[in-house]
Amino acid sequence: MAFEFTDANFKESAVETEGVAVVDFWAEWCGPCRMISPIIEELATEYEGKALIGKVNVDHNPEVSLQFGVRSIPTILFMKGGEVVDKHVGTASKQALASKIDALLN
């Protein structure tokens, strides 16, 4: 299951980690977000123990969204060592997201 990032846990979970974190910014009312949600869940399961993959509900966590300048959703940030190294806005295939994660893990 995808990790639930919040304003309260984001810094310690995604920024202060040496590993790879993939953060999906979403909202319940967003159609494209609901389309990509099952892909994020599958990736979270497949990469468990290798990368932290989770979601931020932008309606409930405005600080993180503002901090990273998220204006369109879904926005997916790819982080390594606490730094944003890649970003994707909009829907994407599972294969496209997995290849970005694989590149960060190698």
pLDDT on residue 17 = 84
Per-residue pLDDT in tens (0 to 9) along the chain, 106 residues: 899 999 999 999 999 988 999 999 999 999 999 999 999 999 999 999 999 999 999 999 999 999 999 999 999 999 999 999 999 999 999 999 999 999 999 8
Task: Using alpha carbons, select from 10, 26, 31 the residue that is nearest to residue 59.
Answer: 26
| CATH tag, 3-105 | 3.40.30.10
Burial 66-78 (b: 16+ CB within 10 A, else e): eebebeebbbbbb
- Which of these is catalytic: 20, 21, 22, 33? 33
Residue 35 is a catalytic residue? no
Structure pTM?
Answer: 0.95
Enumerate residues 6+ apart whose C-beta is below 8 A from 92. 36, 39, 76
Domain residue ranges of the chain, discontinuous segments joined by +: 3-105
Residue 30 is a catalytic residue? yes
- Which of these is catalytic: 15, 30, 92, 98? 30
